[in-house]
Amino acid sequence: MARTRHAPRVDSSQHKDQEFCMPLIARFLACLIAGALTVIAQSTDASVSGTAVDPTGASVPGVSIVITNARTGVAFRTMSNDVGAYSFPTLPAGEYRLEAEKQGFRRLTLGGIRLEVGARVNIDLRLELGATTEIVEVSADADNPVSYVTASMSGVMTERKVLDLPVSSRNVLNLTTTMAGTLGSNFNGTRRGNLNIQMDGINVQDARINVGVSSTIFASVDRVAEFRVVTQPVDAELGRGSGNVQMITRSGTNEFHGSLFNFHRNTALNANTWFNNANGRDPRTGEPVSPRENLIRNQFGGRVGGPVIRNRTFFHFLYEGQKIRQRETVTSTVWTAPMRQGLFRFFPGVQNGNLNAARPTVDENGNPVSPTGAALTTFNIFQVDPARPGMDSTGLVKRYIDAMPLPNNFRAGDGLNTAGFTWQRPYRFDENNFNVKFDHLLSDRHRLSFSFSSERSDDINGFMAQPFPAVTGGSVRQRDYLYQLTLTSTLSSSTVNEFRAGALRPLFRFFSPWEVDPSILPKAGSTPFAVDFGTITDPVNISNDPQGRISPNYQLFNKVSMIRGRHNYKFGGQFWSVSTNGFNSFTVLPRAIIGAGGVPVANMGNVPGIGANQTFAQNVLNDLNGSLAQLQQAMNSPGGRNPVFLPGEVKQRTWREREFALFFQDDWKVNQSLTLNLGIRYEFYGVPYDINGKTAALAGGSQSIFGISGTTWGDLFQPGANRGQMTDIILVGPKTDNTGQRVYNNDWNNWSPAVGLAWNIPWFGRNRTVFRAGYSIAYERQSLRLLDVVSGDQPGLRQVINFFSASKLELANAQLPLQPSGAPLSRVPFTDRTQIVRTYDTGLRIPHVHNYNAGIYRSIGRNGTVSVAYVASKGTRLMRGADVNEHNIFENGILEAFMITRNGGNAPLFDRMLMGLNVPGRGVVNGTTLTGSQVLRDINTTTQGYFASGSVGTLASFLSNNNYLTGVNGGLLRNGGLPENFVSANPQFASARLFGNLSNSTYHSLQIEYLHRARDLSVQWNYTFAKGIGDEDGDGQEQIDSFRTQRNRQLDKRLLALSVHHVMRSNVIYDLPFGPGRRWAS
């Protein structure tokens, strides 16, 4: 049984272990103290309200009402007011018994009231005349959706469903897609970033990355008691997203309950795969090259809950563990035994091919096989080029060869000189999770709840896995902590206050192989470096680099609920302190990249018959000899007022953001049949910044993204326009010289109304048919990961240095560290044209979604409900990126020149660009005997492909940014006397991306649902017919998709990925009639 949780995402900016700031306890206490200054919301408690009436329907004031939790014995009391209205605004989910009494009326008792998480239920109390000693007992139907008094679209996964529905991952969030209107992480047409996932009222999402329906704290079926999925809220209390998932964890009761579990999986009965069997047997050992993969998984643990003091104090404890031991089949490319001695093998006139090739030159045991009958040629590769007379003189290549097994799979490599080593790589995952929760009744007016969760996991070979058995791989470490405290106080019979504080601290650390074992790296002087080979799998996995992050989210909530007449008021606020302290070290460890460099391999073409194998032979020689094409190293700056580039400095940012929200909601019961939901919510999302003064932005704001061409979109596609200035990058915000500038301006206008109604239609039976309709606005929070891309990846504080040498560069003479060129934040020249510059729109507004719904809800029999609803949403000012440097091919004549050249002619524009340049082996371009079109169409193999495929835009980029024949990027334009922005608006950069409110979407759906809830049978069936249109799905971390063309953005309008026209889901639970209280074996 595969268990999935929120998987650690590798991104380009994560956590630095040593940079934890204020101790956690101090921060948590600070949150508690600050709680007096704030006012939430988003309670996971249920609420019950209604009106006490006499047999004539008149209101009855002064009724004493007590509702008691059947499992804990905790009772809550109130009185009906002068219009007979009453309210219990904060009741923990569970089963209740309600009693109402007043002199002159019989005592009314309602049993079996099942309150679900977050439910808003109406229960009217119909009193009968008589003595209070007379008791009228009836049953309530509180979990029937017809009883709800809110227009929000939602559904509940009850405790029964959580425990009984099959969830192989043991993660209850996988059940969210059983709800109508959901498709993966898209709720009723909204983006995945428009979600608010809570556990006991505390947001548990990764504050850095929008990963949709997920939780950094594992939401297991033994932790979560039940949860509500709000796919479209019409309630001012619900915010920070259009979709809400409200989970509540298990609590203790007056009885001891618990469970022990162990889920075991192994591969004892699994057959091997066809592909593994096809790899055959090892020619040396006779054993299968790819035996059956091995997987042993144990998910185990236990929970127990019960009373500490009956009717007063309760506890619940949970432990969950998981151990995975796995061996997966992998194939790495290695040199064959002769090649390790420098002996290159081939058949004359035949290109080498492995066993899978159309013309293989080896059999399954690696024996040479001639496709043409020609004899095998073997020559010493070190006797060809005098500049490469032997193996790498440092001994490093020999050291890696010794760690590299001989091949056993000749379906990889070229078969004769390189082949595959197939083996079963071990994978180990260990996880231990603890959760403890206490609920305490301080007095009849005050109740307290506290919970703590700790999750620790270690993942060996889960990151940068080892390529060979004798070489170390990387690992992942995860440490997550969640604290939650809730205090609910009954201030009077009509007023209740709920205060909540929480802290979420998820930590991910990705360790590279050289952090686990530093000895695997060579050194140039005292500087470690890694080698990037060309013909084999790198013995040290260098596919990534060390990185990590911690993303704390400190949260405060307060809500006041009161009843006045027929109005149930609730108001309050919420505060979040969100940050992410992350680092990455991409290419901070220098790379020695194998290749010919400034001295090409000589004489290899003189080997008789080598033919198509020449290039591969040259690459192998460079690998074995240790010849380098280049050295590469990234330098980062720690920032500050006088920044410098430092070797070994990682890219580290601590992004911080402050958010708060205020709301007011009035649930007005106009009469016995009509309830109006009227609310207003205000949300503020502060502009995030780096606390150490490393927030990079453009001097002059977002208008500077257009560079020398101008300041607006209207300045695009105008070659030679000079209405702007060169783009400069500066540091802004706290601890910089530009404290008054931000990456974008604050948006103070984030008001969201919520208007709904619930009308009990009187003509089809009392309380049998309800019409609901609602409208609301929800705001979409942007992930801090996007900021880390837009600001954190700006040119200026990071420089990737590529060192080339005209003389022979090799492992033996590599000198490190490299030296940066220029100072941090230097102006990027026109001759660069390789980097990407980004900016937010200075006038960025918080994206928002308009929500609409209207539906009929009808009770069918005693236990059934059917609903038919129209649900729609409109995404407005959604976030999207656009590339200002769209390649111009029209106004500058490139398209015309392209067509002339493609049709065999000679374009004057290309003559102008290449005139006077010397083409090696062909002479100087003069426009007559050698034309520019001839060079691009017939001589340069790269541009040949552009003409063949019709890639005129790619050719335009080549002409603008390449250093062909000139040695300087953009040299072809200057050679022709053309303006720098002849092709791109901002020619300093390869790409200039602006992120702003450039996207919109619409969604319409018909949703039909049937629910049946009985003791033995539970049925849920729903059908959604939907259509969603927009120009961007918005699921990517970096929002890097640009428009097809800035000339007409409407061309991008399409059916979105969430637009699946027909979705039908169902689940059924039937309890067999065996056991206590059942028909048989009771």
Alpha carbon distance 618, 616 (integer Å): 5
* Contact indicator for 46, 117 with CB cutoff of 8 Å: yes
pLDDT tens for residues 998-1016?
Answer: 999 999 999 999 999 888 8
Average pLDDT (928-948) is 94
> Quick check: 26 pLDDT over 60?
no
**Selection from 819, 969, 827, 951 nearest residue 898 by Cα:** 951
* Contact indicator for 631, 819 with CB cutoff of 8 Å: no
> Quick check: 409 pLDDT over 70?
yes
> Quick check: 942 pLDDT over 60?
yes
Counting Cα atoms < 13 Å in the Cβ hemisphere of 537 gives 25
What is the pLDDT at residue 299? 93
What is the pLDDT at residue 434? 96
Q: Which domains does the chain have, with CATH numbers?
A: 24-40+167-249 (2.170.130), 46-147 (2.60.40.1120), 894-983 (no CATH)
pLDDT tens for residues 337-392?
Answer: 999 999 999 999 999 999 999 999 999 999 999 988 889 999 999 999 999 999 99
> Quick check: 30 pLDDT over 80?
no
* Contact indicator for 844, 745 with CB cutoff of 8 Å: yes
What is the pLDDT at residue 361? 96
Place of tokens 């035994």: 337
What is the pLDDT at residue 217? 94
Q: Which is it for strands 836-840 and 418-441: parallel, antiparallel or unpaired?
A: unpaired
What is the pLDDT at residue 1040? 65
Q: Note the helical H segments in 255-376.
A: 274-278, 337-340
What is the pLDDT at residue 19? 35
Beta bridge partners, 363, equal: none
> Quick check: 1017 pLDDT over 70?
yes
What is the pLDDT at residue 519? 93
What is the pLDDT at residue 629? 94
Least confident of 401-405, 703-707, 1040-1044: 1040-1044
Structure tokens at 700: 């002059």
Alpha-carbon torsion angle 396, 397, 398, 399, nearest 10: 50
Alpha carbon distance 212, 199 (integer Å): 15
What is the pLDDT at residue 1? 36
What is the pLDDT at residue 25? 38
* Contact indicator for 732, 655 with CB cutoff of 8 Å: no
Q: Angle at the Cα of 300 (from 294 to 303), degrees rounded to 5?
A: 170
What is the pLDDT at residue 777? 96
What is the pLDDT at residue 28? 39
Query: Does residue 515 sit in helix, strand or coil?
Result: helix
What is the pLDDT at residue 8? 53
Average pLDDT (569-596) is 95
Average pLDDT (737-750) is 94
> Quick check: 35 pLDDT over 70?
no
147 versus 481: the higher-pLDDT residue is: 481
Average pLDDT (214-242) is 92
Quote the strand ranges of 475-566, DSSP E.
475-492, 495-511, 523-524, 527-528, 530-532, 547-550, 553-564
* Contact indicator for 209, 43 with CB cutoff of 8 Å: no
Q: How far apart are the first and last CA of the chain?
A: 32
Give the distance from CA 1039 to its chain's centroid: 12
Alpha carbon distance 580, 655 (integer Å): 5
Q: Confidence band (pLDDT; 50, 70, 90) for 31?
A: very low
What is the pLDDT at residue 811? 96
Q: Which is it for strands 107-115 and 75-79: parallel, antiparallel or unpaired?
A: unpaired
pLDDT tens for residues 527-549?
Answer: 999 999 999 999 999 999 999 99
pLDDT tens for residues 814-827?
Answer: 999 999 988 999 99
> Quick check: 40 pLDDT over 80?
no
What is the pLDDT at residue 1076? 77
Alpha carbon distance 680, 571 (integer Å): 10
Beta bridge partners, 46, equal: 91
**Selection from 303, 305, 332, 338 nearest residue 320 by Cα:** 303
- Residue 467, judged by CB atoms within 10 A of its CB (0-12, 13-18, 19+), counts as buried
> Quick check: 147 pLDDT over 80?
no
> Quick check: 207 pLDDT over 50?
yes
Alpha carbon distance 962, 974 (integer Å): 12
Average pLDDT (1029-1037) is 86
What is the pLDDT at residue 111? 87
What is the pLDDT at residue 29? 39
**Helix, strand, coil distribution of the chain in percent, nearest 5:** 15, 40, 45
pLDDT tens for residues 444-462?
Answer: 899 999 999 999 999 999 9
> Quick check: 39 pLDDT over 70?
no
Structure tokens at 456: 């620790």
**Considering the entire predicted model, what is its pTM?**
0.88
Average pLDDT over the chain, rounded to an integer: 90
pLDDT tens for residues 3-19?
Answer: 444 445 555 433 333 33
Q: Note the helical H segments in 321-395.
A: 337-340
Least confident of 509-518, 596-605, 696-705: 596-605
| 605 DSSP 8-state letter | G
What is the pLDDT at residue 318? 97
Query: Does residue 241 sit in helix, strand or coil?
Result: coil
Percent of the chain past pLDDT 90, that is, above it, reads 74
